[in-house]
Structure 1
Amino acid sequence: MRTFSYSLQFRRFGEFLMARVTSNLTEEQTKQLCDLLGNVKLSLLYKASVHGYKASVFHQQCDNEGPTLLVAYNRSGYIFGGYTSVDYARSGRQITDKEAFLFSFQGKIPVYIKVNSGHYARLDDAGMPNFGEQLYFCYNSDAVVYNDGGKSYSFDAKRLYGNNTNLTECEVYKVKQNFRTKEKPWRNILWTSIRRDELLEMIRNHKPVVTSVSRVRILMIGPVGAGKSSFFNSINSIFTGHVTNKAISGCAGTSLTTQFRTYSVKDGREGKPLPFVLCDTMGLEEQSGAGLDIEDISSILQGHVPDRYKFNPSAPFQPDEQKTSKPASLQEKIHCVVYVIDASKISLMSEKVEEKLASIRREINSLGIAQMVLMTKVDEACPRVEEDLYQIYLSSYIKSKVQEVSSRLGVPVSCVLPVKNYSQELELELNCDVLLLTALQQMLRLADDYLDDVDVI
């Protein structure tokens, strides 16, 4: 009877101890790490200050738990660690894991370091966690991190953890897929910080397929208030690192853009110009003699309209005769046209605006220029998406809108990309960035298709 009493007391003590095992991560840090990993939840398995630094206890808590995230804290205030998608099992084997990475918080956003190609992610031994037999956590059952050099991960110890090897805490989390819905997305997209960084790098390093063109020129056309200027502001915000409002945008009944503007984007405030130019026009309006004149489109496409030319809806642009006698260079012409359409107003688009778009499309088709649709304001069109932008490719309503705009404008469904511009936000958001950068990447690809096919002689 006494043995049973001791057993019950021990079990209750264990339950009490586990109840006190709480994460040192803030809610914002947890969110950032989940963003890095995708649609996941973190569940705390092991906390060194509670369970102890012995390897046997670590393995008792963490073995055969699937993907895990290790988070370490040192005396200099650094928060860093690593992720592995392969179980801890004390197999004694070298583990290959292409998904493994190290991370360190640099401000609000964690910076990640992938495992180098062709190298092992870690050794699955009976000791404390290691990454690539290079970075050891709780080394020799002590509250320290040990860097043994190695080639599996390329990192700067000072940047990763401030060269301070003394740990104040070490935690290991089970990484569980967060199945919000059983629905299958109708378009696959990775909602991770890693994907955002990959898109940023691809765009930064993009080189047009024709050597005479240094920067792709993208023309945005659409009804008043659809979000052309806001798209430029959003892209500029992502590369600047905070929300900006360089181009005039708003929700007035008539076009706020009265000039032809060519916007280049810098890679950071002091960075070099990126390999694309976004060209903004007046909005299309129903009435004749209002908004962008269709005849102006041809001059813009051919590269004759200068930056800051002020549109005159009652009279189309008249190019200089000397300039028109000599065709503009391929560098000055438009390489991709983007129709910017408000998702919440597709069904309300008037016949006259639709006719104008059809006329413009015929002109662009005759020149063989690549075209796509940017479907904006998806959050205003669908309450489900307004609540969670992640739901955009699970929403059958948004899918139906993509199909509708594809049918009405004669653009393939694959060339209709839904996005949310930055409008009322004060800070950048991961899901917005991924959608916007995916759309921009598609524009660059379509422009390359055009340049690859154009006669440059």
Structure 2
Amino acid sequence: MQKRTGPVTSNLAEEEREQLCALLGNVELTLLYKASVHEYQAAVFHQRCDNKGPTLLVAYNSSGYIFGGYTSVDYAQSEKYISDREAFLFSFQGKNPVYSKVNSGNYARYDDAGMPNFGQQLTFCNGNGEVVYNEGGKSYSFNAKRLYGNDTELTECEVYKVKEKCHIWGRQEKEKPWRNIRWTSIRRDELMEMIRNYKPLVTSVRRARILMIGPVGAGKSSFFNSINSIFTGHVTHKAMSGSAGTSLTTQFRTYTVNDGRGGKPLPFVLCDTMGLEEQSGAGLDIEDISSILQGHVPDRYKFNPTAPFQPDKQKASRPASLQEKIHCVVYVIDATKISLMSSKIEEKLSSIRRKVNSLGIAQIVLMTKVDEACPLVEENLQSLYASSYIKSKVQEVSSRLGVPVSCVLPVKNYSQELELDLNCDVLLLTALQQMLNFADDYLDDADQMEDNVF
């Protein structure tokens, strides 16, 4: 095709652009490459798109399909297989884009001097031509008919630079925060003292039991480590945590936190679970959660994703005491991945919520990694409740999980830090205090129900 002159304009309609930006988060798209203008040539593509950071490829075919892929890793002609857990393929199904993320353990693309490919499975502008080529493979699970109608003839191919919108702190500073919080050492000390002095409403319960549930890598174990760090006085890593593709937590763990080194246990227990995974037969089993909620699963029980927990017959014959049951459930969600949460994970969380609701247990969402989600917050954690982007993420997770906005608590866990930080402490302790309040709400209701029975 001959190179055309004239202004380079996007083929994306405004509604489609908004939908893609919503899928990626708080971003803006800048057109780098348009095949009909810059030629269907690999050399030109790389000249315009190499080393530009995250990019979104949008292709159009003669059947009217709009589809493509996203990668967060630079094009650089490195001749290497690229791992990119953020990569995905998408296609508009009606007004909304449906996506397929890179499969766990597979590479996202091969970074060579040719035209862009995803997992060497789907190549756009193959052979410098106006076609898409599907070689098949294991990197992405998609149906060619659904993705692009089996029509390989392209009418256009565009590549956009994906850049996170950065709010200007000076402007937002003048706005009224959407939540009020005191970022002071006095407030931190007040929260620590309230937690130390907490006593469950029901005298038969010595410690509130808080269950952490969430996808792999969301920060469940890191939250315990962070709370433990605050009361220990230095950053600790007692629970295994990290960013592996599969859950590092393989056992059901109940963690107590001591009030300082050698101090007495504080009046709460944080219960850690195996991470939720998309695939069936992987990650935490939904039936195991039911057993945990009702107090049947012992500490250090090793999860088996293919076989749910079977309680001891003698123990199963009697109901667990209120002390053994879960009093508050906390869903831990990564703020950077809310828009990319798969339908399978969302369905699993919905199933869990229905079970928790049926038992009347209080529920909270802990939204982690807020600093990674918003540059404004990364620069200054105290700007958290002045960030319109974080507010939008709180509203989004509220809508997707079906919990009130007031029950979504943004936090930053300790992950890379070597020293404690006042602002992190205030956020984390505020969240923990709210969990204890919610646990009391459940205990109060449960105690009244038992009184009515007798």
Q: TM-score higher than 0.5 here?
A: yes
CA distance in 1, matches of 2:238, 2:307: 28
Other structure's SS at 2:450 match: coil
Taking only aligned residues, the RMSD between alpha carbons, in angstroms, comes to 1.2
Stretches of structure 2 that go unaligned for 5 or more consecutive residues are: 1-169
The partner residue of 1:353 within 345, 348, 367 is 345
The partner residue of 1:377 within 353, 366, 369 is 369
Structure 1 counterpart of 2:360: 368
Q: How many residues align?
A: 280
CA distance in 2, matches of 1:281, 1:305: 11
Structure 2 counterpart of 1:241: 233
Q: How many angstroms does 1:193 deviate by?
A: 0.4
Structure 2 counterpart of 1:16: none
CA distance in 1, matches of 2:173, 2:221: 35
Structure 1 counterpart of 2:173: 181
Structure 2 counterpart of 1:271: 263
Q: How many angstroms does 1:181 deviate by?
A: 1.9
Q: Is 1:456 aligned to 2:439, yes or no? A: no
Q: Is 1:296 aligned to 2:271, yes or no? A: no
Give per-residue Cα distances to partners, 1:240-270, cap 9 Å, x unaligned.
0000000000000000000000000000011
Give per-residue Cα distances to partners, 1:155-203, cap 9 Å, x unaligned.
xxxxxxxxxxxxxxxxxxxxxxx99821110000000000000000000
Give per-residue Cα distances to partners, 1:7-59, cap 9 Å, x unaligned.
xxxxxxxxxxxxxxxxxxxxxxxxxxxxxxxxxxxxxxxxxxxxxxxxxxxxx
Stretches of structure 1 that go unaligned for 5 or more consecutive residues are: 1-177
Max Rg structure: 1
CA distance in 2, matches of 1:316, 1:256: 19
CA distance in 1, matches of 2:255, 2:173: 40
Q: How many angstroms does 1:456 deviate by?
A: 3.2
CA distance in 2, matches of 1:324, 1:242: 41
Q: How many angstroms does 1:300 deviate by?
A: 0.1
Contact 1:196–1:437 (CA<8 Å) still a contact in 2?
yes
Other structure's SS at 1:456 match: helix
CA distance in 2, matches of 1:205, 1:309: 31
Structure 2 counterpart of 1:433: 425
CA distance in 1, matches of 2:172, 2:303: 49
Aligned in 2, Cα 1:180/1:195: closer, same or farther, shift over 3 Å?
Answer: farther
The partner residue of 2:393 within 391, 397, 401 is 401
Q: Is 1:211 aligned to 2:217, yes or no? A: no
Task: Work out the percentage of aligned pairs sharing the same amino acid.
Answer: 86
Structure 2 counterpart of 1:343: 335
State the AA in 2 paired with 1:308. R
Structure 2 counterpart of 1:258: 250
Contact 1:330–1:456 (CA<8 Å) still a contact in 2?
no
CA distance in 2, matches of 1:190, 1:442: 15
CA distance in 1, matches of 2:182, 2:174: 17
TM-score by length of 2: 0.61
Other structure's SS at 2:249 match: coil
Contact 2:251–2:300 (CA<8 Å) still a contact in 1?
yes
CA distance in 1, matches of 2:208, 2:180: 27
State the AA in 2 paired with 1:362. R
CA distance in 2, matches of 1:288, 1:256: 18
Other structure's SS at 1:295 match: helix
Structure 2 counterpart of 1:313: 305
The partner residue of 1:226 within 215, 218, 225 is 218
Q: Is 1:446 aligned to 2:453, yes or no? A: no
Give per-residue Cα distances to partners, 1:100-148, cap 9 Å, x unaligned.
xxxxxxxxxxxxxxxxxxxxxxxxxxxxxxxxxxxxxxxxxxxxxxxxx
Structure 2 counterpart of 1:283: 275
Contact 1:210–1:451 (CA<8 Å) still a contact in 2?
yes
CA distance in 1, matches of 2:437, 2:414: 24
CA distance in 2, matches of 1:380, 1:193: 24
State the AA in 1 paired with 2:403. V
Aligned in 2, Cα 1:388/1:211: closer, same or farther, shift over 3 Å?
Answer: same
Contact 2:295–2:326 (CA<8 Å) still a contact in 1?
yes
